Chains A and B, each alone.
Chain A
Amino acid sequence: MAIVLHDLTKIYNQDTDFPITAVDAVSLTIGAGDFVAVMGPSGSGKTTLLNMMGGIDRPTSGSVSIDEVDITGLADKDLVAFRRDNIGFIFQDFSLLPVLTAEENVEFVMQLQGHSASECARRAQELLREVGLEDRMDTVPAKLSGGQQQRVAVARALAPRPKFVLADEPTANLDAETTHGLLDLMQRMNENKGITFIFSTHDPRVIARARRVIVFEDGHVTEDRRQ
């Protein structure tokens, strides 16, 4: 599944005297199965870029095509369904639903997809086993460590069988050992299942593992290298 960004621009406060250009005419193509890090300083526009790639935010101009579907032209209702079925999200602060157990958090998106209760439970348990949390399935997030919560978040992102996963600074709140464990996990998913991972990060440990690094500054791509 290729993601093609064409002349993508996002300007905030466009109708005021102080417009802010977060992403400025970016064109990129990310191939299926890639493991990409988008790096740059805080405020460089990384999160805005990822949000537009994931259909969470709409660009001021330009387009995002995923498998030749121009998601910028989709109606809200269709975009929600597209996002739910094709894109997994991992957030910096894990963003698990605090009242649900690990298993229920993983089931959540599958519930939205309309799978049966038994199918949701079976897949959630399978994914939690894959991320090494088979003994914490009935535990609520508050009783999990940061690393465990992020592993639940990875399982949740993978639950709807997405084509690619967008991770916004997924290791920012993790210690070194946990970060390596999480990166091992995501790399394994990438290699075994062919899922495309795109990270926004300024964590050198993540950048070191990426096969492609896109450097982003002031809304522009300043460097795009393979390693």
Chain B
Amino acid sequence: MRARFAVSLAWRNVWRQKRRTFITAGSVATAMLLSLFMRSMQEGSYANNLDNATRFYSGYLQLQHPEFSESGSIDKLLPSDDAFLRRVQSIDGLTTAVPRLESFGLGAAGSKSKGVIVMGVAPEAEDAYSGLAARVRHGRYFAQGDENAALVGGRLAKYLEIEPGDELVLYGQGYHGATAAGLFQVAGIIDYPNQALDSRIVYLPLAAAQRLYATGERVSAWVLHGENVRGIPALEAAARATMDGIGPTNAGSPTDIESPLETAGTTNTRIRVRNWAEISPELEQQITLDRVSGQFLVLILYGIVGFGVFATIAMMTLERRREFGVMLATGMPRLRLIQLVLFESVCLAATGIALGLVITMPVLLWFYRHPIPLSGEIAAATEAMGFEPIIPFSLAPEIFLEQVQILVVIFAACSTYPMFRIWRLKAAAALKG
């Protein structure tokens, strides 16, 4: 039997009981609508929150000295000269690269002191990237020519009892054992979305931080950002390819007389590319857990729909026992008959999926273009965490593919029993009805 004839026969068989087919396809479509709505909302929120969160701290990726993450040492640095920047900017898919110099020190004001994280940032580039200026609650952001200005996390400022205009002493260990000590003036107090960091963070202009730690033109990380969250794996691969095998001696200009990697006494000259999940594993775990719980709900929903699908496919088969007997008697090979039933399941699944997409796509498109705005306390809490007060939706193809895969498995599983019955069917017995 030609495939076209078989598919045509299967399609017509599916529509023998129009009402039943519509009910089954409708239940599949409804399940698709509900699960796609939920998954689209989940993935949209993850992408949005991730984008917001990474801008403020980890970036999508960071380039670091291979030993920096383990040691946190101020000696494990990367260059920040123009030649190295050009190399970084040649990474495919890169939209933003900002330098940061991160180290630890003791912050003191008046009679109070506390261990702090000192973050040197390029003021304009950092503000353009993470919107740091908008986080200033009191005082002002860094201005041109600020050489000794500092921005202090709100909780840290409260602990040290300092306000804009007050002095802050930073003390620690600088590059290669040098003493790092400096007096800074508090320019502003910021609201940092992460409470733990809010009680420890001190921002300095990059040049001031480099001077404090005597690092010269070096930074602890280049923070990289791409078009969107979905492009992170490609961006990471491109970053690795661009940075593969190079250290500061061959990455930067020939005048780069000191190699931080060499001076660190390591034989590993590669620059390490770390993604956001490595830098913030707790954020990744949180997203994974939430995603799995969503997928579990989707499976429960489809499990319920699966019973209906099974009933339909079983009925479509069992009520045609005599018809199958006639087909076998007139010379249809058993495998062809099983193939026909499989085609019927495929047609039914395709109808349900097509109907599901037709009713779901306009809904998702609407919410994709018009995210649900949050209001009241929820919006305030969301904003305080550094996230936009909206529930965005995603149209990532993976979400749709996931639904189709689940449905294919359900229909395949539901077809197993009828196919088994046909495999065991005796033509003579079937002809008796």
Seen from chain A, the residues whose Cβ lies within 8 Å of a Cβ on chain B are 48, 51, 54, 56-57, 76-77, 80-81, 83-85, 89, 91, 95, 97-100, 107-109, 111-113, 117, 156, 160
Residues in A whose Cβ lies below 8 Å from that of B334: 76, 80
Known A51-B431, A84-B330, A112-B332; judge A100-B2 contact (CB<8 A).
no
> In the bound complex, what is the Cα–Cα distance between A212 and B12 (angstroms)?
43
> In the bound complex, what is the Cα–Cα distance between A95 and B426 (angstroms)?
17
Q: Is B336 on the interface with A (CB-CB < 8 A)? A: yes
Pairs of residues from A and B, 4 with the lowest C-beta to C-beta distance, nearest first: A84-B331, A57-B428, A99-B12, A95-B326
Q: Is B401 on the interface with A (CB-CB < 8 A)? A: no
**Closest partner residue, chain A, to B1 (CB atom):** A111
Contact A111 B330 (CB under 8 A): no
Which positions 325-367 of chain B face chain A at CB distance < 8 Å?
326-334, 336
Known A51-B428, A100-B9; judge A89-B2 contact (CB<8 A).
no
**Closest partner residue, chain A, to B13 (CB atom):** A99
Query: Among the interface residues B2, B13, B327, B331, which one has the most CB atoms of the partner chain A within 10 A?
Result: B331
Given A80-B328, A84-B330, A111-B2, 16 extra CB contacts under 8 A: A48-B428, A51-B431, A56-B431, A57-B426, A57-B428, A77-B333, A81-B331, A83-B330, A84-B331, A91-B326, A97-B9, A98-B16, A99-B13, A100-B12, A111-B5, A112-B331
Q: Is B138 on the interface with A (CB-CB < 8 A)? A: no
Q: Is B322 on the interface with A (CB-CB < 8 A)? A: yes
Residues in B whose Cβ lies below 8 Å from that of A156: 330
Contact B428 A89 (CB under 8 A): no
Contact A91 B13 (CB under 8 A): no
**Closest partner residue, chain B, to A108 (CB atom):** B330
Contact A56 B428 (CB under 8 A): yes
Q: Can you list 18 pairs linking A and B with CB atoms under 8 Å apart?
A: A54-B329, A56-B328, A56-B329, A56-B428, A80-B331, A80-B333, A81-B331, A84-B331, A84-B332, A91-B326, A95-B322, A95-B323, A95-B326, A111-B2, A112-B331, A112-B333, A117-B2, A117-B5
Shortest CB-to-CB span from B429 to chain A, Å, is 9
Contact B331 A83 (CB under 8 A): yes
Shortest CB-to-CB span from B341 to chain A, Å, is 14
Residues in B whose Cβ lies below 8 Å from that of A98: 16
Which positions 7-47 of chain B face chain A at CB distance < 8 Å?
9, 12-13, 15-16
> In the bound complex, what is the Cα–Cα distance between A85 and B326 (angstroms)?
15
Q: Is B427 on the interface with A (CB-CB < 8 A)? A: yes
> In the bound complex, what is the Cα–Cα distance between A218 and B332 (angstroms)?
32
Contact B331 A109 (CB under 8 A): yes
Shortest CB-to-CB span from B131 to chain A, Å, is 63
Shortest CB-to-CB span from A195 to chain B, Å, is 16
Residues in B whose Cβ lies below 8 Å from that of A48: 428
Contact B323 A89 (CB under 8 A): no
Contact A56 B427 (CB under 8 A): yes
> In the bound complex, what is the Cα–Cα distance between A16 and B18 (angstroms)?
44
Contact B329 A89 (CB under 8 A): yes
Shortest CB-to-CB span from B258 to chain A, Å, is 79
Residues in B whose Cβ lies below 8 Å from that of A160: 331
> In the bound complex, what is the Cα–Cα distance between A198 and B237 (angstroms)?
75
> In the bound complex, what is the Cα–Cα distance between A160 and B332 (angstroms)?
13
**Closest partner residue, chain B, to A166 (CB atom):** B329
Shortest CB-to-CB span from B259 to chain A, Å, is 74
Shortest CB-to-CB span from B315 to chain A, Å, is 16
Shortest CB-to-CB span from A58 to chain B, Å, is 8
Residues in B whose Cβ lies below 8 Å from that of A81: 331
Query: Among the interface residues B2, B12, B16, B329, which one has the most CB atoms of the partner chain A within 10 A?
Result: B329
Query: Among the interface residues B326, B330, B428, which one has the most CB atoms of the partner chain A within 10 A?
Result: B330
Shortest CB-to-CB span from B318 to chain A, Å, is 16
Shortest CB-to-CB span from A50 to chain B, Å, is 10
> In the bound complex, what is the Cα–Cα distance between A117 and B1 (angstroms)?
10
Shortest CB-to-CB span from A98 to chain B, Å, is 7
**Closest partner residue, chain B, to A156 (CB atom):** B330
Shortest CB-to-CB span from B332 to chain A, Å, is 6
> In the bound complex, what is the Cα–Cα distance between A97 and B8 (angstroms)?
13
Residues in A whose Cβ lies below 8 Å from that of B431: 51, 56, 91
Shortest CB-to-CB span from B135 to chain A, Å, is 68
> In the bound complex, what is the Cα–Cα distance between A54 and B326 (angstroms)?
12
Residues in B whose Cβ lies below 8 Å from that of A83: 329-331
Shortest CB-to-CB span from B148 to chain A, Å, is 86
Which positions 212-227 of chain B face chain A at CB distance < 8 Å?
none
Shortest CB-to-CB span from B190 to chain A, Å, is 71
> In the bound complex, what is the Cα–Cα distance between A187 and B12 (angstroms)?
35
